[in-house]
Structure 1
Amino acid sequence: MNPSIRTPTVSRRALLGGAVALSTAALTGCGGGPAAPAPGPGSPRRGGRLRAAFAGGGANETLDPHLANLFNEASRAKAVFDKLADYGGDVSIVPRLASGWEPNADLTRWRVTLREATFHDGSPVRARDVLYSYARIADPKRAFRARASLALIDLPASRAVTDRQIEFALVRPYAEFPNLLATFGAYVVPEGTENFDRPIGSGPFRFDSFQPGRSLLLGRYDDHWDGAPYLDELEYLTGNEESARINALLGGQVEYAHDVTPTTARTYERDDRVRVTRMPNSTMQGFTMKVDRPPFDDRDLREAMFLLTDRQQLVDTVLSGAGQIGNDLYGKGYQYYADDIPQRTPDLDRARFLIDRAGARGLTVKLDTAAVASGFVEAASTFAEQASKVGLTVVPTTGNKDTYWKDILDGGVLACYRSGAMPIETHISQRLLTNSTTNATGWARPDFDALYVRAISSADEGTRRQAYGDMQRMLHAEGGFLIWGFADFLVASAPRVGGVAADAPANTLDWARFDKVWLG
């Protein structure tokens, strides 16, 4: 094995991914009167039931962690189950069920050691549980979100060395292997599990009862490897509107309201019934241009689009200032991010020149949008106004929110886009390689693909950093992602709730995590 990449403890800063969708009746029917005012959460203490309001997916909600997609499902999964690794508060990869990992010399085999942990029925977490879970996720007959990421693992050639040690064989050298262990949805379940009506996991909370589309009640698992939660019970409640979540919090029917808007945060910033926690850099905000078809197969026109964009105006209007501007690159502030590339600023004269050189003066372009994410429709409208200043007519067109992501993957030429956190390497592999399954911009460059292979095949940090930098310089100069901003994520809680992490972008380990939360 190669000691130079031995490191579960070495920071591999990264970014990661997410989506949302809530019955007001469930919130208003959860019982309990207004909570008594509390001076503050104080020191951690044990006891009590925390009621958390999330957007929900209706009667089709599932407790199968490999099917988790919505924010409430992702939070529930981390409460009941564990992954081998996850993204820490600084979005670096940190060990969870895995206590460590180590590659061989050519990065084609990685040995992972499991910590001593148990499932809720008392049975130990073993290597074969991990192999079964990964094989289930990787089954081509299933539609599990993590399947594409685990495709790099040659599961038939992987093996359990002992009950607590696994040797993973890979289909090619891969220096970023720990990213796979932390991938969204890669939870470990007991070998042979297919029924999740009463799920058994190794997470900090154990199952009690479930009403799809309404509530999930969990109890503390006293034998969790990372220590028992402070809470006795955790109850997830769902409703359809943000207003339902915040009103339930104000009325004392819940203690935690997930995903509130900047407008709501400002409205209640002086209200002693509400504490708002800001999670910076949680979602990338932007537009996709299809570079493989007219009109954006013209590099001059793509550059003009970059230069006509007033990013600060978009952050101020669409995000109400709750975010920071982007530079047409994913992963601002994280490992391998090319922060040496100068920040783009509006240059309308240069944009007009490039539009004329592309023969696009007076061009009309449809901009696909939909109410699938907060601010999409507003972003489309603001961008259309900006484009009109340089002689382009951008026509926002609202599509079907139920099929939006599928529709814009292969169709259209310009679309609103966003992404949750994931490693820059994962963003590239899933969205920017010639054979990527979610290549929404149609970017296909053999020289770019070769740089990616160079990066993931090298054990040398400097070589990887140089390759990722070169890829980002190519994308910044001529790519199809117009990334105008990075949004903060906001949650609201009662003042007596302690332990809500403030430095956890959405979908990282400490986001929507309740085993370290307490009631004061």
Structure 2
Amino acid sequence: MHNTPNNWSKSDDDFVEQAIRRGASRRELLQMMLAGGAAMTAASFAFGRAEQAIAATPVSGGALKAAGWSSSISDTLDPAKASATTDYVRLCTFYNRLSILDPSGNVKMELAEAIESKDAQTWTIKLRKGVTFHSGKTLTSADVIFTLKRHKDPAIGSKVAKLAAQMKEFKAVDDLTLEIVLDSPNADLPSILALNHFMIVADGTTDFSAGNGTGPFVKEVFEPGVRSIGTKNKNYWKASLPHLDSVEFFAIVDDNARANALMSGDIQLAGQISPRSKRLIESNDALVLVQASAGNYTNLNLRLDMSPGDKKDFVDGMKYIVDREQIVKSVLRGYGQVANDQPISPANRFHDAALKPKAFDPDKAKFLFNKSGMLNQTIPVIASDAASFSIEMAGMIQASASKIGLKLDVQRVASDGYWNNYWLKAPIHFGNIDPRPTPDIMFSLFYSSNAAWNESRYKSPKFDSLLLEARGLLDEAKRREIYNQLQGMVSEEAGTIIPAYLSSVDAMSSKIKGYTSSPFGGLMGGSFAEYIWFAA
């Protein structure tokens, strides 16, 4: 790190910065400074400082076009029904939550000024004053209570009904204060309320196509399965945000086409760049890559309530026929870490590093397949570009299995409709899961016996009991002990095979500033539109 040259003042810094803003080139500025008696080192140093200051200063304006990797006609602006990254991006564009999580996973307040409890069971939430919805309605405690109660209504079909079920009582103390009573203590409630599904909607809302939230952009266009366009919310309660005038978001399913659209300038931001495209983008000075080891994963799901997943020997054999090291090396090109069939990644402080992944062991797999009676039978496996890298993973697993007499029929299906028609439904299929902030949330959503997203239909009363016990513990050491046990149970007993934790890699124009990696997935966990800007 350089120190400021002697006799150099802030006014000198300001002079240089203003000259650059007026369009002075490096050569012109150096000539001016040298003519004024500045040393070459001081002049070069000042220019560098000024460039950094300008780059770090947000600039208002600009229309962004950004592309994700999957889309469907079931895309929604109803926070309760969101299920894909495409949905989460749009929720972050049009709505706000009571709380958010910073890059370190710490809870920060958003629409709430405070979320407090003395016993982790009765919680008091104080709301910010003066927040308005896009419709002009003022945010009150009634909106929050309406939002949370929707998740408990079976008719809504909320994706987080399992998490909302613990919210037993709601009380509006006044317009800006409410109380929530849980059925048992849960110290993670502030983190739970930071989930995208708990975005706050206006009291009485039944039509969500308007995207009437309190968020940074106002919905102008929403065509499910096609695109959305939002324009800057000029009455946004965060006075300095957003910086962009508008954001258009859509999906380009094909990895190569998405990268090509970025390189040609048709879009300025592309989510989830494939390892194959990385080198091309790195060689282009007009583009930059942002990588985050977020803990998201693509998993192979074997439904335990359907054949052949109802045969434990078959499920165990599949876990040994997956060459995890080779998947990280060849499919992910090093952009990932070997995983051990459970969802709590090394990015989470509760990850059990002592739980080792199963080694690639074709002989053991063959023994188990033979024992299950499945050798020499043809078994369908559903894969899709909608689940990142699943096509490549399926091909690699298929090749390994064929060498020992197991015939896997990999069926590649279209991205559109995959999450509605195949995910959770087919006997063997792939998922693609974003990380959640706490083990309790992840296990509750995907592994508890009655979870809506229980991908392999894993059911264990013991697991459910331990999960509930950990939820009420304020002693982190005791919670860790239980979470380690739960990770081991999922790894050994569930039908979800998680070969690797993925590194999220997004790519964008070098003119985009303010973009940071997120531990909650690519595209800044879905929130990029609110924070980025185009350099002047």
Tell me by how many angstroms 1:119 deviates. 1.4
The 1:92–1:385 alpha-carbon spacing in structure 2 relative to 1, beyond 3 Å, is farther
Q: Give the Cα–Cα distance (whole angstroms) in 2 for the partners of residues 403 and 165 of structure 1.
A: 41
Counterpart position of 1:341: 355
Q: Which residue of 2 aligns with 1:493?
A: 508
Instruction: Provide structure 2 residue ranges, at least 5 long, that are not aligned to the other structure.
Output: 1-25, 27-50
| Alpha carbons 2:352, 2:487 under 8 Å: kept | yes
2:201 aligned with 1:189: yes
> In structure 2, what is the Cα distance between the partners aligned to 1:58 and 1:349?
41
Residue of structure 2 aligned with 1:87, choices 79, 84, 101 = 101
SS of aligned partner of 1:515:
helix
Q: Distance in 2 between matches of 1:61 and 1:466?
A: 39
Moved more, 489-498 or 110-119: 110-119
In the alignment, what sits opposite 1:236? 248
The alignment status of 1:257 with 2:270, answered yes or no, reads: yes
| Shift of residue 448, structure 1, vs aligned partner | 1.7
Post-superposition shift, 1:216?
1.2
For the structure 1 residues 455 and 385, does the alpha-carbon distance in structure 2 shift closer, same or farther, using more than 3 Å as the test? same
Q: Is the 8 A contact 1:159 1:167 kept in 2?
A: yes
Cα contact 1:50–1:519 (8 A) shared by 2: no
TM-score normalised by L of structure 1:
0.81
String of CA shifts for 1:396-455, please: whole Å, max 9, x gaps: 234565554455566554322221122332232222222222322222222222211211
Moved more, 250-259 or 320-329: 250-259
Change (3 A) 1:505 1:448: closer
Aligned mates of 1:323, 1:62 — CA distance in 2: 30
Contact in 2 for aligned 1:137/1:147 (Cα 8 Å): yes
As a proportion of its length, which structure holds more helix? 2
Instruction: Find out whether 1:210 has 2:221 as its counterpart.
Output: yes
- Aligned residue type for 2:100: D
In the other structure, the counterpart of 1:326 is: 339
Where do residues 16-31 of structure 1 align in structure 2 (5 Å cutoff)?
none
- Given that 1:81 and 1:202 are in contact with CA atoms closer than 8 Å, whether structure 2 keeps it comes out as yes
Aligned counterparts of 1:59 and 1:410: Cα–Cα separation in 2: 18
Q: Which amino acid aligns with 1:177?
A: L
SS class of match (1:286) = strand
Q: Any residues of structure 2 matched to 1:144-183 within 5 Å, and which?
A: 144-154=158-168, 157-183=169-195
For residue 521 of structure 2, what is the amino acid of its counterpart? A
- Of 268, 283, 308 in structure 1, the residue corresponding to residue 281 of structure 2 is 268
The answer to whether the Cα contact below 8 Å between 2:229 and 2:248 also exists between their aligned partners in 1 is yes
Q: Is the 8 A contact 1:86 1:95 kept in 2?
A: yes
Inter-partner Cα distance in structure 2 for 1:237 and 1:302: 39
How many residues align? The count is 479
Instruction: Give the 3 Å change call, closer, same or farther, for CA 314–249 of structure 1 in structure 2.
Output: closer
Where does residue 78 of structure 1 map in the other structure?
A: 92
For the 8 Å contact 2:387–2:430, the answer to whether it is kept is: no
For 2:85, the aligned partner's letter is F
Deviation at 1:500, TM superposition (A): 0.8
Counterpart-to-counterpart distance in 1, 2:308 and 2:332: 29
**Aligned residues with identical type, % of pairs:** 22
Q: Which residue of 2 aligns with 1:13?
A: none
Distance 1:164 1:434, change over 3 A: same
**Residues 253 and 414 from structure 1, CA distance in 2 versus in 1: closer, same or farther, beyond 3 angstroms?**
closer
Describe the shift of the 1:343–1:126 C-alpha distance in structure 2 as closer, same or farther (beyond 3 A).
Answer: same
Q: Which stretch of structure 1 is more off in the superposition, 461-470 or 510-519?
A: 510-519
> Following the alignment from structure 1 to structure 2, what is the Cα–Cα distance between the partners of residues 302 and 145?
27
SS of 1:514 mapped into structure 2: helix
Describe how 1:24-423 pairs up with structure 2 within 5 A. 42-55=55-68, 57=71, 63-105=77-119, 107-116=120-129, 118-120=131-133, 124-154=138-168, 157-195=169-207, 199-203=211-215, 205-207=216-218, 209-210=220-221, 212=223, 213-221=226-234, 223-225=236-238, 227-229=239-241, 231-238=243-250, 240-242=252-254, 245-333=258-346, 334-358=348-372, 361-399=375-413, 401-402=415-416, 404-405=418-419, 408=422, 411-422=425-436, 423=438
Q: Is the 8 A contact 1:130 1:188 kept in 2?
A: yes
Is the contact between residue 501 and residue 510 of structure 1 (CA under 8 Å) also seen in structure 2? no
Larger Rg: 2
User: How far apart are 1:124 and its partner, in Å?
Assistant: 4.6
CA distance in 2, matches of 1:241, 1:392: 31
Q: How far, CA to CA, are the matches of 2:197 and 2:419 in structure 1?
A: 19
Tell whether the 8 Å contact from 1:308 to 1:347 is kept in structure 2 after alignment.
yes
| Alpha-carbon distance change, 269 to 77 in structure 1, aligned in 2, over 3 angstroms | same
Describe the shift of the 1:173–1:409 C-alpha distance in structure 2 as closer, same or farther (beyond 3 A): farther
Matched letter for residue 178 of structure 1 = P
Please say if residues 109 and 167 of structure 1, whose CA atoms lie closer than 8 Å, have aligned partners that are also in contact: yes
Q: Distance in 1 between matches of 2:240 and 2:380?
A: 53
3-state SS of paired residue (1:277): strand
Per the TM alignment, residue 221 of structure 1 is displaced from its structure 2 partner at its CA by 3.7
User: In angstroms, what is the RMSD of aligned CA positions?
Assistant: 3.3
CA shift at 1:459, angstroms? 2.9
Q: Shift of residue 384 of structure 1?
A: 1.0
What amino acid is aligned across from residue 182 of structure 1 in structure 2?
A
Tell me, in whole angstroms, the C-alpha distance in 2 between the residues paired with 1:496 and 1:508.
16
Query: Please, which moves more after superposition, 350-359 or 460-469?
Result: 350-359
Residues 53 and 236, structure 1, Cα contact 8 Å, conserved in 2: yes
**Map of 1:451 onto structure 2:** 466
What SS class does the counterpart of residue 271 from structure 1 fall into?
A: coil
Q: What secondary structure is seen at the aligned counterpart in 1 of 2:283?
A: coil
Q: Which of 489, 493, 496 is the matching residue for 1:478?
A: 493
Q: Distance in 1 between matches of 2:423 and 2:525?
A: 31
In structure 1, C-alpha distance between the alignment counterparts of 2:316 and 2:218, rounded to whole Å: 53
Residues 1:311 and 1:518: Cα distance change in structure 2 (over 3 Å): same
Distance in 2 (alpha carbons) for counterparts of 1:232 and 1:360: 56
- Secondary structure of the 2:192 match is helix
C-alpha distance in 2, partners of 1:230/1:408?
37
User: What whole-Å deviation, never above 9, does each CA across 1:373-399 have from its counterpart, x for those lacking one?
Assistant: 232222211101122334422222345
CA 1:141–1:490: 2 relative to 1, 3 Å: same
- Residues of 1 paired with 2:56 and 2:425: CA distance? 53
Shift of 1:83: 0.4
What is the TM-score of this pair, normalised by structure 2?
Answer: 0.79
Structure 1, unaligned runs of 5 or more: 1-37
Q: Which has the higher contact order (CA 8 A, sep 6+)?
A: 1
Q: Quick one: structure 1 residues 111 and 312, their matched pair in 2 at CA, closer, same or farther if it must change by over 3 Å?
A: same
After superposition, the Cα gap between the structure-2 partners of 1:349 and 1:197, relative to the gap in structure 1 and judged at 3 Å, is: closer
The answer to whether the 8 Å contact 2:124/2:180 transfers is: yes
